[in-house]
Structure 1
Amino acid sequence: MNFSIKYSLLFCLLFQSIYSQDKLIIDDAFKSRVCTHDLYYVLDTLKKIEPKDIVNNSEFKINKKSFFGQRNLSIWYRLKVKNVSKETKDLVFSINAECFNNLTIYRHENHQILEIYAIKDLKEKDIAISTSITDNELVEYYFKVDFTKSTYFPLKVFDKHEFSDYKIQNQLELGFFYGISLIILLINVFFYVNTRDKFYLYYSVLLLSIILILAEIDGFFANTIFVKFIDVFLQLVLVVSLSLFTNEAIGIKKFYPRLIKFIFLLIILNTIFYVIYTLSGYLLWYSLGKILNTTILLTYLLIGFLLFNKHVYARFSVIGYLILFISNILYILPFDFGIHYFDFSNRYLKMSSLFEMTVFLYAISYRNGVIKENLIENIKKSDTFKKKSNEEIFESFVKKYDLTLREKEIINYILLGKTNKEISEKLFIQEVTVKYHISNIFRKLDVKKRTEITPMFLQFKLSLEK
């Protein structure tokens, strides 16, 4: 018993020492490492901490805290890297720079602290900094970061060769996502052009806004001077097109007419928040706008659950909107509110959007099938109506000119272009008898030859249709 306790305590102490080690160990098999939660930090509230003083600063704490709602902070991060391999390692620091605009990186070794990277007014969304570390060397890196948005500093460390593969893979993923998205968008546009169904129009606008928002997150508009206005405009287009599409697909006005006014008020309030953010630059209003966007999405998700068994498109909306809602929450928590218990990257946001597009692509094909079935049914009904109308018109024609049953049969064959001989064979009577009935028909219709009968009937039909 004592033996078991002794070894259990030894194991716990060993585990604790490994877990509490604040070093990134680089060995021969090193690939990549996400260091967001392994960083140590110290707040530089007054922005007075100098690089020469940061090494001996005793206030560094493990980066487990979320700075909820705190913005425009200045923070120093520390990362210790030890190379235990037998060769020099070329490393790359890959950082998502969406939440900050100023970054300076220092390297501490041999009792010296050297600046290895500095940039101000950063516009790119992702940056990569190369460095190297010799065999059996321990190096401390210090990152001084000035945040403009929430406090979120996702840092990845790559081996140089693996980073090249990572960039290629990232480019392929971007090409795949935007390629598939544009194909789905073109399918919607094609269906709208051919059917003029607003379902396809509203979803095309919604899909385009999602694609452009993700492109903005990926940094495609980073170097444009109107990037803030583009972002706000796309957010508003997103929420408006989402509302129009959901109302068209599910028919909320039919089931919950009062809810339309509530959502309309949310959209107006959302617009006000974004306008205030655009004019003031205060990011709190932008975050409030994001919250309202998510609230509207959640409202439609709940409506989908309520109508799940009543409307087929409600089932599609539940699946698609649930994926969008979860991914949206996981994305805005770190980037807009500084809650970084989850590392939710742009890659996962695109994957969830692609899944949502796939769900609604199935809904599109389903709706197209329904439209075809309705079209065929309408054509059948139209043919039946026309047939019935022609019979009624013919009966009215016969009644107007007081034709007998035999005369009715004969004039029907005349209208079909039959000769006297063919009529006699059809009715099993003599051709002379056919001529006798035709002479009576001529007298009643006041015509002199059979070629006048068809135009006369068509004129009668036209007058009735008018």
Structure 2
Amino acid sequence: MKFRLSLLLCFLYLSFFGQEKVFYFKDANKEYSSKTIGSANFKEVVDDIVLESKTDAVFWFKIPKSLDDDDYVFQIKSIDTKGSKGFQGNKVLEKLPYQRYNVFQFTRDEDTFIKTASNSKAYYPITLNKSDIFNFNEKKIITYNSFYYGFSFLVILYCFVYYFYFKDYAFLYYSVFLASITLGFLIIDGTLNLFGVSKKITNFLIITNYIALAFFASKFINSFLFLESIYPKLKKYTYTVGVLIILSGLIYFITDSHLYLLILNVLVFSLLLIYWLTSVLLFKRNIYTKILVLAFALLLFSAIDSFVLTNFGFRIFKSNPLLMKIGGIVQIIVLWFAVIYREKILRKENAFMKKEIISFSDSINLNDEKLKNENTLEDLSHREREIFNLIIQGKSNKLISAELNISVNTVKFHIKNIYEKLNIKSRKEALNIDLNIAKF
């Protein structure tokens, strides 16, 4: 009895979980149609993803029929797909409108087949859920995305304000760098598809954003770590990489060739990796360099995993947009405090240096003034010294005339001689002479 019960439970378990399995077939020669695909040798999708390097093959997904009466939703979470279609028997399944990615809804009274292809690598992350679960998950994702984008926009705005207040270009470059990262997430999240943005415009934004990301990331790190004074030759090499990035982006936009998109990806993230490794070399220099190295690492390597390594048909960290957003949030928070902390340290250092320079300058000026006046005050006559002392006390010609009981013209005559002997040009300059030096 126990053995039969165990077999029954095992059968129910396999039946229940078998319903959620998805299978795929690589149609390398594009020889199958919706009528013949049922005879193809399908393989089970592992970890909800199909990943291969660049291929022109068509991929088919199979969702086996089930006794479940609920509506199911199949989603391919990639913006690189083209020609995606769904079939169920003799019926063509229409894609759901106003979705971030390609989405098909159906019942499972028959086997369902989804056909798709790609302009670049064969990268197809998929989900299969009941309709209500899919809708709930989409609402959660959109809520998370809204929080991320809102938080990013707030930090970008604050960076602009701090730039205009402190006149530190690190704030400006970081704000544009963060805006570029945010736009990249908007694109790969499929958000532009919700607004009906065409594929051509999306490609243009992708290329432009790659170039902006490389440029402003390098400008930010250069400004943040003062690399031009530490490694002056680095600029020459990174500028060369920058020119290659622009050229590969333009060629890709003109030719729509995946090869140049691959080159663009490799160049951009190679440049970012170079700057990260440079900051590692300066790790012990100060605290905000350490923060930059640690904060930048998670986002950088998850992005390399998603945008570079997948082009060669493999992944290391199994990165996804959610993981990269977590890295993005960590980077935003940590780097934001690092930039603020850096500004505080620099202002304190600048204030100390300014104070020291002013003190040193005053000391030099005082010694020069003493030497100058010690040499020249001895040349003044007794009456001229009396008038000079009254001048530096701020008294006018009329008051000097009354106090010394001489005419105003006589005062003016003596003042003229005093100016010539002391090599000064005005009463204002005379007032700047130390009173203690002038008195006899």
User: Smaller-chain TM-score range?
Assistant: 0.7 to 0.9
Instruction: Trace 1:36-115 onto structure 2 (pairs within 5 A).
Output: 38-55=21-38, 57-64=39-46, 68-80=52-64, 82-83=66-67, 88-107=69-88, 112-115=89-92
User: Alpha-carbon deviation of 1:379?
Assistant: 5.6
Whether contact under 8 Å (2:100, 2:191) holds in the other structure is no
Q: Distance in 1 between matches of 2:12 and 2:270?
A: 45
Moved more, 90-99 or 185-194: 90-99
User: Alpha-carbon deviation of 1:321?
Assistant: 2.5
Instruction: Find the partner of 1:401 among 360, 372, 377.
Output: 377
CA deviation map 1:380-402 (0-9, x unaligned): 44764686547865785576334
**Counterpart AA for 1:207:** L
Match in the other structure for 1:446? 414
Structure 1 residues 456 and 271: CA distance shift in structure 2, 3 A: closer
Match in the other structure for 1:33? none
**Counterpart AA for 1:73:** A
Match in the other structure for 1:32? none
User: Alpha-carbon deviation of 1:114?
Assistant: 3.1
Q: Distance in 1 between matches of 2:313 and 2:290?
A: 34
- Count of residues in correspondence between the two structures: 403
**Secondary structure of the corresponding residue to residue 339 of structure 1:** coil
User: Alpha-carbon deviation of 1:177?
Assistant: 0.9
In the superposition, the TM-score normalised over structure 1's length comes to 0.72
Match in the other structure for 2:296? 321
User: Alpha-carbon deviation of 1:345?
Assistant: 2.8
In the superposition, the TM-score normalised over structure 2's length comes to 0.76
User: Alpha-carbon deviation of 1:236?
Assistant: 0.9
Whether contact under 8 Å (2:391, 2:431) holds in the other structure is no
Q: Distance in 2 between matches of 1:460 and 1:261?
A: 54
Moved more, 218-227 or 268-277: 218-227
Match in the other structure for 1:216? 187
Tell me the percent identity: 21
Unpaired segments ≥5 residues, structure 2? 396-402, 417-424, 435-440
CA deviation map 1:390-441 (0-9, x unaligned): 786578557633489xx999987985679xxxxxxxxxxxxxxxx89x9xxx
Q: Distance in 1 between matches of 2:67 and 2:305?
A: 34
Q: Distance in 2 between matches of 1:273 and 1:123?
A: 32
Whether contact under 8 Å (2:52, 2:312) holds in the other structure is yes
Match in the other structure for 1:163? 134
Instruction: Find the partner of 1:306 among 257, 281, 284.
Output: 281
**Counterpart AA for 1:60:** F
Q: Distance in 1 between matches of 2:169 and 2:367?
A: 38
CA deviation map 1:323-369 (0-9, x unaligned): 12221123225764443686533222222122112221011111221
Structure 1 residues 158 and 212: CA distance shift in structure 2, 3 A: same
Instruction: Trace 1:312-461 onto structure 2 (pairs within 5 A).
Output: 312-332=287-307, 336-339=311-314, 344-377=319-352, 380-381=355-356, 384=359, 388=363, 389=365, 393=369, 396=372, 400-402=376-378, 415=392, 446=414, 457-460=427-430
Structure 1 residues 48 and 445: CA distance shift in structure 2, 3 A: same
User: Alpha-carbon deviation of 1:72?
Assistant: 2.7
Structure 1 residues 217 and 181: CA distance shift in structure 2, 3 A: same
**Counterpart AA for 1:294:** F
Whether contact under 8 Å (2:30, 2:57) holds in the other structure is no
Structure 1 residues 185 and 386: CA distance shift in structure 2, 3 A: same
CA deviation map 1:248-303 (0-9, x unaligned): 22233344333332222222222222222112111121012101112112212221
